[in-house]
Amino acid sequence: MSADTKNAKGSGREAPLVRRATPDFRWESVAHMPYKEEGSAPFKAISRQILHSDPDLAGELRYFEMDAGGYSTLERHEHVHGVMIFRGHGHCLVGDTVYEVGPHDLVTIPPMTWHQFRATRGEPLGFLCLVNVRRDKPQLPTEDELNALKADPAIAAFLSR
Amino acid sequence: MSADTKNAKGSGREAPLVRRATPDFRWESVAHMPYKEEGSAPFKAISRQILHSDPDLAGELRYFEMDAGGYSTLERHEHVHGVMIFRGHGHCLVGDTVYEVGPHDLVTIPPMTWHQFRATRGEPLGFLCLVNVRRDKPQLPTEDELNALKADPAIAAFLSR
């Protein structure tokens, strides 16, 4: 059969049905999207790869990776994240608790819960993240909300790592 | 704060927000569900763990694992599978093509496409599988459909491994 058929063209599926993992946590036919750090970008040294996004799937599976010292955006939103740590060790904030995390740990981010991941251990930290395709936009903390979070010494220490 | 609060009780979330990976590809607070092999069970030596299932997620993330020599059910359905091989090497059938697969390879199972995973390499084969919460029931092949598949020597060899 032809490669075209295997791509299931005409179905909205442009990618091959099997996409190989390549070295260093990348994949064939998956765009590697580093986030641009401009001015006051509230994240650092993080990239995104969308692993599964399909017209017939209500969820998407993404892979985020931070370089050592990098971090995701501190944010909250109505939609839920279903996370699995995929490589490396680091810390995450979920609500008012800071957790140490390592490979294959599962993290649930409930609605409207402040959260951030940080590659605090001198190595890259990568995680899979399941979300709904239909979702609201993230909210960033106001200065007052950020100060309220920092009133907790553990959170203040986490945010300054 | 109390563990109860961290569980986000009352939200439909009973599990802790962070569930640790434990040795041998299992997780805290995640039920390990071996499939019962009874009579003509069309699968062998496979288990399921539901990693992310949340009242606010339209998708579910499951982990399936076969022992060496095990296989998943040969089936098709309208709903799509978004798969990532998680451990081990083996083979899978998608439609009319047999693929060798290994760690982190991505596999998309389009609607109404015959598919099966087989742990053909003398080691366990584990994969993550993203599906919609709302989905149709799998269909098994009729004897005629199975014979049509087996008319392809590569598929016949795959099915007898």
Q: Is B26 on the interface with A (CB under 8 A)?
A: no
Please give the share of chain B, as a percent, with pLDDT higher than 90: 84
Burial class (CB in 10 A: 0-12, 13-18, 19+), A110: buried
Q: What is the pLDDT at residue A4?
A: 40
Q: What is the pLDDT at residue A92?
A: 98
Q: What is the pLDDT at residue B95?
A: 97
Are the beta carbons of A130 and B130 separated by less than 8 Å? yes
pLDDT value at B92 more than 60 = yes
Q: Return d(Cα A132, Cα B54) in angstroms, integer.
A: 11
Give the CB-side neighbour count of residue B128, counting CA atoms within 13 A: 26
* pLDDT beneath 50, residues of chain A: 1-5, 9
- Marked catalytic residue, from B74, B129, B149, B155: B129
Q: Which amino acid is at A2?
A: S
Q: What is the pLDDT of residues B108-148, one digit of tens each?
A: 999 999 999 999 999 999 999 999 999 999 999 999 999 99
Q: Is A132 on the interface with B (CB under 8 A)?
A: yes
Q: Provide, as residue numbers in chain A, all residues whose Cβ is less than 8 Å from the Cβ of B114.
A: none
Residues B8/B17, Cβ–Cβ less than 8 Å: yes
Q: Is A101 on the interface with B (CB under 8 A)?
A: yes
Are the beta carbons of B104 and A25 separated by less than 8 Å? yes
Q: What is the pLDDT at residue B10?
A: 54
Q: What is the pLDDT of residues B23-51, one digit of tens each?
A: 999 999 999 999 888 777 788 999 999 99
Residues A78/A91, Cβ–Cβ less than 8 Å: no
Q: What is the pLDDT at residue A9?
A: 47
Q: Which amino acid is at B83?
A: V
Alpha carbon of residue B11 to chain centroid: 28
Residues B88/B74, Cβ–Cβ less than 8 Å: no
Catalytic residues of A: 129
Q: Is B89 on the interface with A (CB under 8 A)?
A: no
pLDDT band at B6 (very low <50, low <70, confident <90, very high): low
Are the beta carbons of A132 and B59 separated by less than 8 Å? yes
Out of A11, A21, A96, closest to residue B1 by CB: A96
- From the list B117, B123, B75, the residue with the least C-alpha distance to B93 is B117
Is the ipTM value over 0.85, yes or no?
yes
Q: Is A111 on the interface with B (CB under 8 A)?
A: yes
Q: Return d(Cα B135, Cα B116) in angstroms, integer.
A: 18
Q: What is the pLDDT at residue A8?
A: 53
Out of A51, A80, A104, closest to residue B84 by CB: A51
- Predicted structure pTM score: 0.93
Q: How far is B146 from chain A (nearest CA, A)?
A: 19
